[in-house]
Amino acid sequence: MKNNKGLLFMGLLITLLITVLSFILFIKAGVSFLGWLIMILLLLLLGFIIYKTHAKGIKFIGILSGVAVVSIFVVFIFTGGFSGSGKSSVVSDGVDKKDLGNIMSGQYYFDDGNTVYYSNFDDSFKAHIYEMDEKTGANKPIFDGFGWSLVPYKGYLYFSGNTGDSIDGTYRLFKLDLKDYTYEIINEDYCYNMSMYDGWLYFINRSSSGTYSYKRLNLKDNSMETIVEDGRNANVVVYNKKLYYFDAYGSIVMAELDGTNPEIVIGNECSRFIIGDGKLIFVQDGTIKTADPDGQNIEVVRETDGTEIYTLNSSGNTIFFSEYKSDEFDYAMSGYPYTVRSIKFNGRNEKLVYEGISYGVYINVIDNDVYALDYIMDSGAGHPYLLTIVSIVDQNGDNRRLLPN
């Protein structure tokens, strides 16, 4: 009898361990609701069978647990665990899927877990997209020209950019074959803010007449559709199977993935927004605020100090933002001075992370590092035109170094 109780205790302890590990795995991967439902049913079934049959011995419990683990892993695979569909847009392997600020910053550094893709200029001031092995650090240029909003998908790299030595501002949509590095242009219009969700590439499009819309590209057949006609020049992303975007008036809108059933969740004029750690993070009149994804429970994180906030990003419970001094143009560098600061969601522990000069501010956050892209022309350094220099610091602002070329 005592032995049976011991076997029951061991069986239930194993079930508890499998449950904890499954929950951690499913949360991090953003698995669909169906996957969660099947996983929970399997765990309940495992616990019930162990309770009824534990007397058959430790070997039987081990076999039963092994079958449960394999079954849960199969569910994980087929309900979005590795597909990148999950609940939200895919940005980069080193970023929690709840932290989608990189999409709004035109991700110029993308880590798929094994290979890193990034944009940089070489020592001769020529633009390239580079491919780098994450383990060895070996890198090579794979595209002659500039690109950002980088999204790798099934052997291809999609990005917004242009061919040539410098940035020409055309920002067409490219599809680069990662086997032979040949490419085709999918969209001739100016476009950016790319992210991938469930086999679709979502992005902002600017027509030749200067009007903005939100589109998506079917990555299976390259068909394209407009999902929001009247857009703005910033921000479209999928979160929790909903489309979030700015309308033409600066309101944050939530809609179905095809753009139908739009609902304003944050009204009034917003200048910036991202989604991070399950919250809307947005700027109104220079004040940083947060809200639930449905627009409820608005809280002030940081009151304005009169300086323009140009960029937002986040990582976990930390918000990163840039203060841009648009009235202090530096003629020697052809840019404006700015700072990158961090602050907790509760408004505490604000700190300086980075200072730079740039024509525009672009922040990526990957793992524990902050990437700051400075778009400048330093005539003293021999720059023939505006080019990018990417500095990397840790989240405390220490250990500064440059992205390799």
Q: What is the pLDDT along the chain (405 residues), one digit of tens a residue?
A: 556 777 788 888 888 898 888 888 877 665 666 778 888 888 898 888 888 887 788 888 888 888 888 888 888 776 655 544 456 556 655 556 666 667 656 788 888 778 889 999 999 999 999 999 988 989 999 999 999 988 888 889 999 999 999 999 999 999 999 999 999 999 999 998 888 888 899 999 999 888 999 999 998 888 999 999 988 877 888 888 899 999 988 899 999 999 999 999 998 888 889 888 889 999 999 999 999 999 999 999 999 998 889 889 888 889 999 998 888 999 999 999 999 999 999 999 999 999 999 998 888 888 889 999 999 998 888 899 999 999 999 999 999 999 888
- Confidence (pLDDT) at 126: 95
- Confidence (pLDDT) at 84: 43
- pTM given for the model: 0.76
Instruction: Decide if 246 contacts 254 (C-beta within 8 A).
Output: no
- Cα distance between residue 34 and residue 99, in whole Å: 23
Residues 6+ apart with CB under 8 A from 266: 251, 252, 273, 280, 282, 291, 295, 298
CA distances from 39 to 12, 22, 47, 149 (A): 17, 8, 12, 34
- Confidence (pLDDT) at 177: 96
DSSP E strands, 126-251: 127-133, 139-153, 156-163, 172-177, 183-187, 190-197, 200-206, 212-218, 224-228, 236-239, 242-246
User: Which token pair is 386?
Assistant: 């505006």
Point out which residues pair with 11 in neighbouring strands. none
Instruction: Decide if 312 contacts 104 (C-beta within 8 A).
Output: yes
Distance of CA 121 to the CA centre of its chain: 23
- Confidence (pLDDT) at 135: 85
Distance of CA 304 to the CA centre of its chain: 26
DSSP E strands, 55-164: 109-111, 115-121, 127-133, 139-153, 156-163
- Please report which residue ranges of 54-169 form alpha helices under DSSP H: 58-76
